[in-house]
């Protein structure tokens, strides 16, 4: 990693695993200008998880999932932070599943629906209205 200020090499001063967000938090220091900054590193899920489609499989996009969850949670005061947490929880749950990394969209929707139902019943109802296959 290079310094964000002078583009020189950096060294890691402190590192912690962030279990809830599935990231690594690192405090870095530049070897030349001695500036200190923080990075959050996470795996690229686009290569790990794939979504079944009628054509070739597509990479999983947490951004699309986040947007759908954000719309469902739009009436909450903590909309963005709640949507971030739900998206992280759904992604972690998908990574724990024993199946192959190729998921049908219905499985992703049902996992998101289950997490939303535990968090906010109104948001869950709004999400189910947008995903009619979950109503059964």
pLDDT of residue 136: 53
Residues in the chain, total: 136
pLDDT of residue 10: 95
Higher pLDDT, 95 or 80: 80
Nearest to 113 by CA among 131, 95, 98, 96: 131
User: What pTM did the predictor assign?
Assistant: 0.72
Give the count of beta carbons closer than 10 Å to the beta carbon of residue 101: 15
Residue 120 has pLDDT above 80, yes or no: yes
Evaluated on CA atoms 104, 101, 59, 19, the torsion sign reads: positive
pLDDT of residue 135: 65
- Give residue-wise pLDDT tens across range 8-66: 999 999 999 887 767 899 999 999 999 999 998 887 776 778 888 888 989 988 899 99
- Structure tokens of 52? 């079944």
């Amino acid at each position: 990693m290079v310094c964000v200020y002078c583009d020189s090499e950096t060294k890691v001063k402190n590192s912690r695993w962030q279990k809830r967000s599935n990231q690594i938090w690192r405090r870095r220091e530049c070897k030349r200008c001695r500036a200190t900054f923080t990075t959050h590193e996470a795996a690229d899920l686009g290569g790990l998880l794939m979504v079944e489609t009628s054509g070739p499989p597509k990479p999983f996009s947490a951004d699309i999932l986040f947007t759908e969850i954000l719309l469902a949670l739009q009436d909450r005061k903590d909309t963005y932070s709640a949507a971030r947490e739900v998206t992280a929880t759904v992604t972690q749950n998908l990574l724990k599943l024993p199946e192959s990394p190729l998921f049908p969209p219905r499985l992703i929707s049902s996992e998101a629906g289950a997490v939303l139902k535990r968090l906010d019943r109104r948001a869950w109802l709004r999400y189910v209205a947008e995903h009619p296959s979950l109503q059964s």
